[in-house]
Amino acid sequence: MDINALYNEWLEKATGDPDLIAELQSIKGNEEEITDRFYRSLEFGTAGLRGVIGAGTNRMNIYTVGRATQGLADFLNKNYENPSVAIGYDSRIKSDYFSKEAACVLAANGIKVYIYDELEPTPCLSFAIRHFKTSSGIILTASHNPAKYNGYKCYNPKGYQMTDEEAAETYDFIQKVDYFTGIKKTDFDEAVENGMIEYIGKEVIEVFLDEVQKQCVNPELVKKADLKVIYTPLNGTGNKPVRAILDRIGISKVFVVPEQENPDGNFPTCPFPNPEIKQVFELGLEMNKDIKADVLLATDPDCDRVGIAVPDKTGELVLMSGNEVGAMLLNYLLSQKKEKGILSDSAVAVKSFVSTDLAEVIAKKYNCTFKNLLTGFKYIGELITNLESQGRAQDFVMGFEESYGYLAGTHARDKDAVVGSMLICEMAAFYKLKGMNLVDVMNSLYDEFGYYNNDVQSYTFEGAAGMEKMAGIMDTLRANPPKEIGGYAVTAVSDYKTSKTVYTSGKEEVIELPKSNVLAFALEKGNKVIVRPSGTEPKIKAYITAVGESKTNAAEIAEKLIKAADEFMK
């Protein structure tokens, strides 16, 4: 591959977007900048595409989006009769532009398109796929990444992200498409006129909200609690649907952070629009000095994740982790459904295997079957679909990931911060009437089940050299797994790439999950370290589980494990 030849070709032919030509001209003669844009093509996987917005094969632009969509069209036309696609987009820079580009390519290939007429949350896209019975779905989003990123997620007809097999076949088609001569396109307005592109009306969002509202367990109690909520959509898609669902269940005192209310892909007040990060709550915390809210909510730009901060007894606001919220929601739903006599005898709850083991202990108390699945909400979506096919949709209680993603109900097959926000507020109202805040609730769970300290450490490796570094770290850990981590003996090593768990006793077990580039180190006393490269970002994540007799003890253990993980990443 001649990178300079690629650069010159783009300089000559990438005339469809003036921003691209200006960028390419600005880097003329800069080998490092040219290489970074052209050393590879963005890879298409089960999470679709994700990359920095800009010019080149390693960037998100109308040509990489058009090429991916042409490959998707070829895949759909091969595998489906009269295929159709639902399209959504968030507030990111060029998301609306890219969504129309994708629609024009699909329509030119004879594929019917249903497209939202304004930005909507990712779970609304998942819902639309099943509502319209489309063959696939696309949403233009980079979730909680910084403003310079955008992405392109693809879904299958069941409403969850493509399986490995579907993504691999689509990628084969994509690789055959030339960026400039291989993409079919039609005019957007003409395609709307002739019916190949159809706008999704507001009535579909109302049906979505109807389904979300059905997940309320104690709707009659919410109004009585007089809950105060501060909410920030972080300049993303959550503003309208989250406020609408809270209003529906009787929460009238919702105060929205004005600087973060309206869509803005530059995220001027939160450069990392990720509800896992304390910084996104700063403006809400400032507002709270006057409001004294019961709950602060923050949803990420595509509104599939939600984070919270809640006051403790002293009024000090505490940021709660995704693991803590997941455990509390599970306990709340199980306990209340059991009390009301509506908990199925064959109830099922599920989490990603890197999320807190506390959830599994809670489920056991209520005789609820518990499943641990690979990271990626598509696996939870697949489980729901399988339950539904067995006539057991009502058995699904909830699923969650430690990264602030929750789903109750079967209306979507992806994490949903609309239903997550609603249930968090309902739960807060329920316990408020009992004289408890959510910090009290979490502490009561720790008192009952033991203290679980869960931390996620992210290590960033940018560019081509970073990709090599990440691969080297994983290879080293596989070839020479540690015998102890942080002073705790390793009792078993689970390699999800080889689907094998090897115990120090010599015993081996097969892992009955799809293969994945993940290593899990089980340690004595219930502690654990899991190492996983991100599928969408230039990062390796280390998931730390420390189980202690007290909060202090668990924190001390976690600190030792984090220091050991830091050493792995050097």
Query: DSSP string covering 53-92, please?
Result: BSSSTTSBSHHHHHHHHHHHHHHHHHH-SS-EEEEEE-SS
Is residue 143 among the annotated active site residues?
yes
Q: Determine the residue type at 375.
A: T
What gap in Å lies between CA 452 and CA 356, rounded to an integer?
7
Q: 137-147 b/e with 16+ CB inside 10 Å = b?
A: bbbbbbbbbeb
What gap in Å lies between CA 151 and CA 143, rounded to an integer?
8
227 Cβ neighbours under 8 A, 6+ residues apart: 251, 253, 294, 295, 425, 428, 429, 432
270 Cβ neighbours under 8 A, 6+ residues apart: 234, 235, 260, 279, 280
Partners of 198 in the β-ladder: 114
Question: Could you give the 3-state DSSP secondary structure of residue 285?
Answer: helix
Of 155, 150, 142, residue with least CA distance to 86? 155
Helix 417-432 to helix 122-132 angle, to the nearest 10 degrees?
A: 120
What gap in Å lies between CA 391 and CA 385, rounded to an integer?
10
H helix and E strand count, the chain: 19, 23
Burial label for 134, CB within 10 Å (0-12, 13-18, 19+), is buried
Each as own residue / partner, the long-range contacts of residues 564-569 (CB below 8 Å, 24 or more positions apart, any chain) are: 564/482, 564/485, 564/486, 564/529, 565/457, 565/485, 565/529, 565/531, 566/457, 568/473, 568/477, 568/531, 568/542, 569/459, 569/473, 569/540, 569/542
Both tokens assigned to 180? 């400039």
What gap in Å lies between CA 430 and CA 220, rounded to an integer?
10
What gap in Å lies between CA 529 and CA 546, rounded to an integer?
9
Helix residue ranges, H only, 276-343: 282-291, 322-339
- Please name the residue that has the structure tokens 């993303």: 236
**Pairing verdict, β 508-510 and 519-523:** unpaired
Q: What Å distances lie between residue 418 and 47, 192, 421, CA to CA?
A: 21, 30, 5
Helix 417-432 to helix 322-339 angle, to the nearest 10 degrees?
A: 70
Identify the DSSP state of 117. Answer: S
Among 95, 143, 352, 421, the active-site one is 143
Annotated catalytic residues are 143
